Each structure stands twice: as structure tokens, then as C-alpha cells.
Amino acid sequence: MMITPKGKLTVNIKIEHIKKISWISSIYLHIPAYSARRRQYEVSCIDSSHLLTRMRRKCCKGGLDGCSNTAWLTVAKYGRTNFTVAMTECIIDQMSVPTALTHFSESAELELIRNGYVREAELPVCRDFRQWWKSEDDPGISARNRIQMRLPLRRRLLRNLNLGQFPPQGMFVAGWPNQLLEAVMLQLLLNHKRYNLNYRIF
């Protein structure tokens, strides 16, 4: 995707060192609003820290991507990590990023596997969320690597989404609240678009 001289949005996304990204096509779920006065696209989405804490909150309640919250309660009760029962059962500090990072940490992932909850550890909740957050928060990562770190979560969301289904999927898609799923997908998409929107600055 790039800005043409006439200010139109095309679908040829160009990012250094990346020749092709298989999930990018001419079909977009969202096109940002165009400001005629500023002569630019206005790209806006929900902050990644808010999305992370919302994912953790839904994970604590259970059902996110088909995963049970029993897995995290078991890890908390064993006490081998910084995870506590109150963090899961009472969902304390709901808007705390450090608490959310503890929820999806590598130590929590290893404990999940040790206790037999392989699905919860290997499917999106730990690894994909952790890689996505690193792509958002860690400094010194190239555009190419950031995109590669985000793609697993996007592929997982798209796997659960059926745009050709009628009637359409309702309030939940594979346990994801519809609003949360759309917000995460939009954030992933617009972060990729920003790379090309910023080319004209330099």
C-alpha cells in the first residue's frame, strides 16, 4: 500500500527486505479516513496496551480461542511463578500491563505445559500474544522483524473468521468478543499501513 500523487491509497505494500506478505491482498477490512484539508490519511486505532489488558481479562474469564481459565488457575495455585489466584479469579489490576505480561509470560507458559495444558500454552494466549507485544513495545526491531512477530496472531484471528458465513458470526468468534477481535485485527492492519504512509515524511 502506498500514497499516490493524487492522494489515493493503493494496495502495493512495500517494506524493506520483504518481497511478499501472503495475507496482504486487494481486499482490506478497513480503509482509514482521508482528510481533504490535511491531504493525508488519518490512521487511528486502539492502543496496544489497552488491547493487551483486554485480552488478559477475557482470558481470565475463560473461553478465549477455546481455552479454559482453569489452566491459569492451576498454575497460580502451584505458586511456582509470579502468578496469583487473585490475578486470575478476581481479575485484579485489570488495566495493568505488567500484570497482563505476567499472565502471558514464558514462565507461565512453561508451567501450563508442565501441568498438561499444552493447548493453552502453545495456542495464541502465551506465545502469539507475547511476540505481538514485543513487536509493539521493544525498541530496535526492524520493520521486517516486527511484521514477522505480528503475523502469527493475525493468522490465528483470520483462521477463526468466516466472512462468507450467513448469518454472520455473532457476539463471539471462537471465544473472542467481536469488538476485541475487530480491534486487534484493525490495530495489526493499520500498523502495517503506517510504514508506507510514513514514506513521504523522509
3-state secondary structure the chain: CCECCCCCECCCCCECCECCCCCCCCCCCCCCEEECCCCEEECCCCCHHHHHHHHHHHHHHCCHHHCCCHHHHHHHHHCCCCCCHHHHHHCCCCCCHHHHHHHCCHHHHHHHHHCCCHHHHHCCCCHHHHHHHHHHHCCCCCHHHHHHHHHHHHHHHHHHCCCCCCCCCCCEECCEEHHHHHHHHHHHHHHHHHHHHCHHHC
pTM of the model: 0.77
- Segment among 43-52, 56-65, 112-121 with least mean pLDDT: 112-121
- 1 pLDDT tier (thresholds 50, 70, 90): very low
Per domain, the residue ranges of the chain are 1-202
Most confident of 37-41, 88-92, 124-128, 153-157: 153-157
